[in-house]
Structure 1
Amino acid sequence: MNDLAAHHAPLAGALTDAVRRVIDSGWFVLGREVAGFEEAFAAYCGVPHAVGVANGTDAIELALAGVGIGRGDRVALVANAGGYGTTALLALGAEPVYVDVDEDTATLDPALLDRETFDAVLVTHLYGRLADLPAILEVAARHGAPVVEDCAQAHGASRDGRRAGSWGDAAAFSFYPTKNLGALGDGGAVVTASAGVAERVRRLRQYGWDRKYHQVTGPARNSRLDEVQAAVLSVKLPHLDGWNAARVAVAARYRAAIRHPKLTLPEVDAPGHVGHLYVLRCADRDALSAHLRAHGVAHDVHYPLPDHRQPVHGDRFAGLELPATERLCAEVLSLPCHPELPAEQVDRVAAAVNAFGAGTENWKGQPCTP
């Protein structure tokens, strides 16, 4: 699904120099590299503040805490985004309020959100697509609720000149290696236009300290982006827009090449969609998966089990029905989509997809190893 070796090969010298710079400095946590990346990433997102943290899930938790969410608060979110938001808000003792999605975009449906009672909204920009932020912000304002963006799959996506992370009261990013902007390990950030939110998150990421060994807020974490990852991300950030364009080009090639009556293809419409994942739909997904596996085509499912059906909840949400969410979770399948995927591999994947249901005797391509 990704080729991280090929992704990093053109940057090998710059990445080695960055890591060596950190080693030579003798400073490995919350130093100049983190401060420099925070400044650059905040500017990229179009906000004044970025706070580096240990990973994307911590970023969601600390962003929610930063806007005042805690035990017993009700947080509206979707249930088709892998469970990361649910994990974060449960760590805070908050209550999930699952809202169904727009079936065409797989993101939060603002009209259904307006029917709920909630203290905050966690908006996931899924697969690289921005959710309908203008409508969601309007609903949230009527309810007097802050909005936190989960931008883990949408680095650089924009609408009306505003990038992901610049719309809500705070936003969370993941820098997991396969993200559009990925580190060489785990990493994350909270971005915000609010100096107060930023200061609260800075304290919460390091024991609740306002100065060393002086705890003033909590519950807090030890969740810090380290100097090595910050240095790596600083090298990679200037390439992000080019990588996003390459992802969108892969998606466009799929759309032009795949012709199958049983499949629904996504609209990957830049700049509002940055092609983090290429996710099609098939009512007979298991058969399609078996077919692709037989022809050596890498694929995955993002995501097969909605949050409200996860075993961790027992029967807590047994009566909750989210029909669009549940249909999507039963049908979605992801094809390889990354900046290094050669055009010939895209065409081979598309040929394998088009041969689905036609019998192996009609397969004219070669095994794919994207």
Structure 2
Amino acid sequence: MTQKIEFIDLKAQYRALKDAIDARIHKVLNHGQYIMGPEVRELEERLEDYTGAKHCITVASGTEALLISLMALGIGPGDEVITTPFTFVATAEVIVLLGAVPVFVDIEPDTCNIDASKIEAAITPKTKAIMPVSLYGQPADMDEINAIAERYGLPVIEDAAQSFGATYKGKKSCNLSTIGCTSFFPSKPLGCYGDGGAIFTTDDVLAKACREIRVHGQKRRYYHTRIGVGGRMDTLQCAIVLAKLERFDWEIEQRMKLGARYNQLLDKHGYQRVKQRNDRTSVFAQYTVFVENRDAIAKQLNEQGIPTAVHYPVPLNRQPAYKDICHGTVTAVAERVAKQVMSLPMGPDLAESDQQRIVAALSEAVKIGGF
């Protein structure tokens, strides 16, 4: 029987970091400060140093990071937030939860990131923020987006759930705009063993607001100055991320090498894939190709022990829960690529031999299913 390749091999990562992870976990178990223990602030300081952002506020998830950021900015009923329809639902979910309206702008056909050239036309007097997503591990056109935002006095929230560790013109993702938000979901480039996330900003006022909102709006214990949420990241999860930081630079290097090798192998055959811009890096949270007859090709690969995934099969403005409450629904590119994208196994511990096997199997599947 053909041995199955892991879509992302978290078990191999744990084996490589077992001693460090176990030691970090046992330290927390011994001191017993499971909520807001010393590892929380330690991680925040490490991530501030890593990104160059003045403030890091760890939170319960990437979704919570986005929600708290919008709350800190005062986004509420009737406001509009410009974003992309081609992303995980959390991006729009948090906007709607606050009573605001997501305004969707179409994407670039090659990167699948929001098309910055189409943002300005979507701005109205109700627009209160722009939220680009750094999809598949690569930042969007942040200079162009920030320039538009500055002209209209708007904050920019980078949804960097998939791009922690990437750079844009030499600056780290999460430190490219008013606020950056990331996720430490286990499969992310820097993941914990549950849910977790972080908010980054250089704005002192916003940082203070985010810190208070994440603990139910408390300025001090039982003194609530604003509406908040229970949005703290557990001490244990912070400890795990601290241990994983020990080889994170190596993991990013490996992801980039494997991504470049995928590019070379696929380009040799003329296959279509998500492209990367020369002025930024991608951490390849997913490695994604464009295929026709996706279901047939995925089935063929799965039968050979090669898993695939689809990020994302239905644009958000076509989702039942959102189609009647969003604006900016002319998103032809997003609707087309949603039918074509297919992600291949990716991760720092992916062996080159397995990568060769994946590409060979894809080539065979293409002959059968079409590309």
| TM-score bracket for this pair, using the shorter chain length | over 0.9
> Does the Cα contact within 8 Å between 2:122 and 2:328 map onto a contact in 1?
no
Alignment size in residue pairs:
359
Question: Once structures 1 and 2 are overlaid, which stretch shifts more, 309-318 or 52-61?
Answer: 309-318
Q: How does 1:1-370 map to 2 (within 5 A)?
A: 1-117=7-123, 118-218=127-227, 220-258=228-266, 263-268=271-276, 271-313=280-322, 315-316=324-325, 320-359=329-368
Q: Is the 8 A contact 1:55 1:188 kept in 2?
A: yes
- Aligned-residue offset at 1:359: 4.7
- Please, which moves more after superposition, 318-327 or 224-233? 318-327
Give the Cα separation in 1 of the matches to 2:46 and 2:277: 26
Hey, what's the Cα distance between the residues in 2 that align with 1:115 and 1:318? 12
C-alpha distance after superposition, 1:93-118 (max 9, x if no partner): 11100011111111111111010122
Give the counterpart letter for 2:128 in structure 1: D
2:3 corresponds in structure 1 to none
The equivalent of 1:363 in structure 2 is none
Aligned 8 A contact 2:193 2:237 in 1? yes
TM-score (norm 2): 0.92
Aligned 8 A contact 1:258 1:351 in 2: no
> In 1, distance between residues paired with 2:368 and 2:106?
37
- Give yes or no for contact 1:259–1:354 (8 Å, CA) kept in 2: no
CA distance in 2, matches of 1:139, 1:346: 40
Tell me the distance in 2 between the aligned counterparts of 1:260 and 1:334: 19
Query: Offset of 1:159 from its aligned partner?
Result: 1.9
Distance apart, 1:92 and its partner CA: 1.5
The one-letter code matched in structure 2 to 1:239 is: R
Seen in structure 2, the aligned counterparts of structure 1 residues 261 and 343 have a Cα distance that, compared at 3 Å, is closer
Runs of 4+ deviating beyond 4 Å: 259-262, 268-271, 316-319
One-letter amino acid of the structure 1 residue matched with residue 248 of structure 2: L
**What's the offset of the Cα at 1:188?**
0.6
Moved more, 151-160 or 313-322: 313-322
**Secondary structure at 2:200's aligned position in 1?**
strand
More deviation, 196-205/314-323:
314-323
The one of the two structures with greater contact order (alpha-carbon pairs below 8 A, sep at least 6) is 2
Alignment RMSD = 1.8
Q: Is the 8 A contact 1:37 1:233 kept in 2?
A: yes
Amino acid of the residue matched to residue 296 of structure 1?
G
- Cα drift, residue 76 of structure 1: 0.3
> Per the alignment, do residues 317 and 63 of structure 1 end up closer, same or farther by CA in structure 2, a change over 3 Å counting?
closer
Q: Is the 8 A contact 1:107 1:124 kept in 2?
A: yes
1:152-179 per-residue CA deviation (whole Å, 9 max, x = no partner) reads: 1001111222100111111111000111
Question: Cα offset for 1:262?
Answer: 7.5
SS at match of 2:93: helix
Q: Percent identity of the aligned residues?
A: 31
Whole-Å separation in 2 of the counterparts to 1:358 and 1:215 = 63
Deviation at 1:273, TM superposition (A): 1.0
Whichever residue aligns with residue 253 of structure 2, its letter is A
Give the match's secondary structure for 2:365.
Answer: coil
Assess, with a 3 A threshold, how the Cα gap between structure 1 residues 358 and 109 changes in structure 2: closer, same or farther.
Answer: closer
Give the Cα separation in 2 of the matches to 1:191 and 1:355. 44
Q: What is the distance in 2 between the residues matched to 1:231 and 1:313? A: 37
Gaps of 5+ in 1: 361-370
Alignment check: 8 A CA contact 1:258 1:353 kept: no
Distance in 2 between residues matched to 1:246 and 1:356, nearest whole Å: 27
Deviation for aligned residue 1:296: 2.3
Report the residue type matching 1:163 in the other structure: K
Judged with a 3 Å threshold, the aligned counterparts in structure 2 of structure 1 residues 316 and 209 are, in CA distance, closer, same or farther, namely: closer
Return the letter of the residue paired with 1:106.
C
Q: TM-score, normalized by length of structure 1?
A: 0.93
Structure 2: any 5+ residue segments left out of the alignment?
A: 1-6
Give the whole-Å Cα distance in 1 for the aligned partners of 2:94 and 2:328: 23
Contact 1:268-1:274 within 8 A present in 2 as well: no
2:101–2:326: 8 Å Cα contact kept in structure 1? no
SS of alignment partner, residue 355 of structure 1: helix
- Amino acid in structure 1 at the alignment position of 2:177: G
